[in-house]
Structure 1
Amino acid sequence: MKHEKISPLQLFYVILGFQIGNTFVFGLGGGAKQDAWLVILVSMLGGFILMLVYTKLSNYYPDDTLIQMIPKIIGKFLAIPFILIYISYFTYLAARACRDFAEILAASMLVKTPLVVVIGSFMVLIVYCFRGGIESFCRMGEAVIPSYIMALSIIWILLLTVDEFDINNLSPILGNGPKPILKEVFPKVLTFPFGESIIITMFFPYLNNMGRKGTVGMAAILLTGVLMTVNLILVLSVLGPEIYSRNFFPLLTAAQMVSIADFLERFDALVILTMLAGVFFKIGGWTFGSAIGIAQLFKLKQNRSVFLGIGTILTPLSLLIAPSQIRHNEIGLDFFTLYFHIPLQIVFPIMLLCIAFIRKKI
């Protein structure tokens, strides 16, 4: 797959779809209540810094993925544990994204469909796409993401028609001071979704124009932040800060309130279908990072069978990682953020960049 190349626009769409894949339905920054939209803007600034770290690190090793960089920076002996941790990290996050997608779909549309059927069907689609190579996956981004944004815009326009819509729900701005905002920014929203852009280090070597990698990364962070901010402003205006802070899927709740002439209703189905398109890139991105990491660790000449193996593992793994949706959310928001997101998205990449800078200077 290494000989395959993708354009900067294709990579931009893939990373954008990856970041916004399943984030819109969640109540991000709920602890800041009416200032939740400010949480996104502040987190976006942190996302720019992290993307700068990932881009600079890739500039030192332009032909290598993150898995290939690590041995060159800290040595082969020390690199093995970190490589295994990153591969496990990518695999687990792919399973989490599968579980999130299946739980939302089962609760809203496919009520009587077993989760294993929902997840298994989706994984067949992703594995089939990657059997055609990274170019097929990235072409999907070009085709799907513009339609995703268009559908999202339609949902926003519909929210403006809700009788309960009141822009005054956003006031008072900074009514509780900056502390609740900063508490939501770090580590929650900074690591999800902006810190997850570390997956871009697995795509950089396939870019056909290396000089555009910084532009692609920063543009993806910027548009992600803008889209999420607009979404939160509209959802908060419909639901109000109190309901928003207590609702785990506020966009779905807001969409259910849309009613046109008491005839056109249940637009939450449109939200689910939109999320379906975005989650494809979220799960696909983590699956790609895991499979390519395994192939590079064991120096495999072809990785199609690796994608098949990862796809087979993810279906049962997504069901076994937590006994219930509540426990699943607790693990992701508390334990995993503190002990995995922060070290692997922030601490270790910065440490690698510092070591790489010193090695190049010496």
Structure 2
Amino acid sequence: MSQQKISALQLFYIIIGFEVGNKFIFGGGAPAKQDAWITILLGMLFGLILMLIYVKLSDYYPGDTLIQMIPKIIGKYLAYPIILYYLCYFTFLAATACRDFSDLIYTTILTETPMPIISVSFMVLMIYCLRGGVETFARMGEAVFPIYIFSLIVIWILLLTVEDFNMTNLAPILGNGVEPVLKEVFPYAITFPFGETVLITMFFPMLNKKQHAKKVGMAVILIGGILLIINSMINIAVLGPEIYSKQSYPLMSSTRMVSIADFLERFDVLVILMMVAGVFFKVGGWMYGVSVGITQLFNLKDNRSTLLAIGTIIIPLSFLYSANYVEARELGTNIIQPYLHIPLQIIIPILLLCIAYIRRKFNPENSSV
């Protein structure tokens, strides 16, 4: 497969957009109430450790994606089940992000439009963009991410004008004890969104300057984490800890409280704009990862031929995996966290790094075979 190249800044736009894409809308750390921002802070610190693991794997195998590394580390036959595990994981999370997008759009602005039409329209746009390759995706990221951040900053400024805005809602710090915070940090705050950046291992070989990989990875976690912390604090200050902990879309609820001179209202359209931009990165990142993985697994010439098939799978899967929002959250807690996120984001990368280190230390001449 011919490999296009992207700059460090372009990779940063793609992965940070992917990391925070729909996390702003869903908030995070709700069970910790006023300490939700602390769960994100601790999740970010663990996320930095995970990123160091991903970067070190890339240093050991600089020209390889995660899919190409695995057979070199544990052998071809043991690698196939794990590779399929990752490909199914990428596909499933693309479907969940697509469903989240369709649910939000359907329940807010396109209530008369059948949800499958929303999903199919978005998927057609996504396939069209990704068929141009990683360079096209990166250029789209350069155009979309500034819009995303601009919308977020405008929302934050507007939220500061809300009459109920009160920073004392963040007190008392650890008022409910340490236990609710720790329960939320592991695994939820670590795996979503910081652990999902395991996808960056599918993009590292595309960097035109490999020495910038660590800087990009660390910047993604740090800047993304800081933005999420600020967002969480502002939402709690507006809604209060009790309401914040019960909201499915806290940023949407906060924005609906904005009213300037009893005339300018309904700024939640900016949240919708953010969701569209965020899901572009989220679904695009997962789809690109699985398409490249399939291409490398079966030694295809390029990944464009796989995108239509992947999109065809994602649309029905997004409607089959859950009937509604509540069922989707239960599935996330009972299935996705223990059987997908934790093994594929944490356990397997750590084991791969340990085995790769041992191979290089005791058998350096065959460590990259």
| TM-score of Structure 1 vs Structure 2, range by shorter chain | over 0.9
Deviations 1:112-134 (A, max 9, x none): 11111111111111110111111
Q: Match of 2:3, SS?
A: coil
For residues 236-251 of structure 1, what are the structure 2 equivalents within 5 Å?
236-251=236-251
Q: Residues 65 and 205 of structure 1 are in contact (CA less than 8 Å); yes or no, is this contact kept in structure 2?
A: yes
Q: Match of 1:25, SS?
A: helix
Name the residue aligned to 1:300: 300
Name the residue aligned to 2:160: 160
Name the residue aligned to 2:57: 57
Q: How far 1:54 moved relative to its partner? A: 0.2
Name the residue aligned to 1:116: 116
CA–CA separation in structure 2 for the residues paired with 1:335 and 1:245: 22
Q: Match of 2:26, SS?
A: coil
Gaps of 5+ in 1: none
Q: How far 1:2 moved relative to its partner? A: 3.6
Deviations 1:158-214 (A, max 9, x none): 001111101100000111222111111100110000000000000001000000000
What is the TM-score normalised by the length of structure 1? 0.99
Task: Tell whether 2:234 aligns with 1:252.
Answer: no
CA–CA separation in structure 2 for the residues paired with 1:50 and 1:2: 29
Name the residue aligned to 1:343: 343
CA RMSD of aligned residues (A): 0.9
CA–CA separation in structure 2 for the residues paired with 1:333 and 1:285: 23
Name the residue aligned to 1:29: 29
Equivalent residue letter for 2:236: L
Q: Residues 2 and 301 of structure 2 are in contact (CA less than 8 Å); yes or no, is this contact kept in structure 1?
A: no
Name the residue aligned to 2:192: 192
Equivalent residue letter for 2:34: Q
What is the TM-score normalised by the length of structure 2? 0.97
Task: Tell whether 2:73 aligns with 1:73.
Answer: yes
Name the residue aligned to 1:15: 15
Q: How far 1:328 moved relative to its partner? A: 1.3
Deviates more, 1:258-267 or 1:326-335: 326-335
Q: Match of 2:23, SS?
A: coil
Task: Tell whether 2:180 aligns with 1:180.
Answer: yes
Q: Residues 295 and 303 of structure 1 are in contact (CA less than 8 Å); yes or no, is this contact kept in structure 2?
A: yes
CA–CA separation in structure 2 for the residues paired with 1:190 and 1:48: 10
Equivalent residue letter for 2:249: F
Q: How far 1:287 moved relative to its partner? A: 0.4
Deviations 1:223-275 (A, max 9, x none): 11010011011100000000000111111000000011111111111111111
Q: Match of 1:18, SS?
A: helix
Name the residue aligned to 1:91: 91
Q: How far 1:13 moved relative to its partner? A: 0.5
CA–CA separation in structure 1 for the residues paired with 2:2 and 2:92: 24
Task: Tell whether 2:311 aligns with 1:311.
Answer: yes
Q: How far 1:315 moved relative to its partner? A: 1.0
CA–CA separation in structure 2 for the residues paired with 1:27 and 1:298: 39
Gaps of 5+ in 2: 363-369
CA–CA separation in structure 2 for the residues paired with 1:33 and 1:13: 30
Q: How far 1:147 moved relative to its partner? A: 2.0
Q: Residues 40 and 229 of structure 2 are in contact (CA less than 8 Å); yes or no, is this contact kept in structure 1?
A: yes
Q: How far 1:25 moved relative to its partner? A: 1.0
CA–CA separation in structure 1 for the residues paired with 2:307 and 2:27: 32
CA–CA separation in structure 1 for the residues paired with 2:361 and 2:120: 49
Equivalent residue letter for 2:170: L
Q: Residues 2 and 302 of structure 2 are in contact (CA less than 8 Å); yes or no, is this contact kept in structure 1?
A: no
Q: Match of 1:6, SS?
A: coil
Aligned residue pairs, count? 362
Name the residue aligned to 2:234: 234
CA–CA separation in structure 2 for the residues paired with 1:274 and 1:325: 20
Q: Residues 95 and 317 of structure 2 are in contact (CA less than 8 Å); yes or no, is this contact kept in structure 1?
A: yes
Task: Tell whether 2:213 aligns with 1:202.
Answer: no
CA–CA separation in structure 1 for the residues paired with 2:43 and 2:196: 12
Name the residue aligned to 1:356: 356
Task: Tell whether 2:320 aligns with 1:320.
Answer: yes
Q: How far 1:334 moved relative to its partner? A: 2.8
Q: Residues 19 and 194 of structure 1 are in contact (CA less than 8 Å); yes or no, is this contact kept in structure 2?
A: yes
CA–CA separation in structure 1 for the residues paired with 2:324 and 2:338: 21
Q: Residues 41 and 229 of structure 1 are in contact (CA less than 8 Å); yes or no, is this contact kept in structure 2?
A: yes
Q: Residues 151 and 273 of structure 2 are in contact (CA less than 8 Å); yes or no, is this contact kept in structure 1?
A: no
Q: Residues 11 and 138 of structure 2 are in contact (CA less than 8 Å); yes or no, is this contact kept in structure 1?
A: yes
Name the residue aligned to 1:284: 284
CA–CA separation in structure 1 for the residues paired with 2:340 and 2:289: 16
Name the residue aligned to 2:365: none
Deviations 1:9-44 (A, max 9, x none): 000000010011100111310111001011111110
Equivalent residue letter for 1:29: G
Equivalent residue letter for 1:267: F
Runs of 4 or more, structure 1, over 4 Å off, are: none
Q: Residues 87 and 293 of structure 1 are in contact (CA less than 8 Å); yes or no, is this contact kept in structure 2?
A: yes
Q: Residues 27 and 245 of structure 1 are in contact (CA less than 8 Å); yes or no, is this contact kept in structure 2?
A: no
CA–CA separation in structure 2 for the residues paired with 1:75 and 1:338: 26
CA–CA separation in structure 1 for the residues paired with 2:175 and 2:169: 12
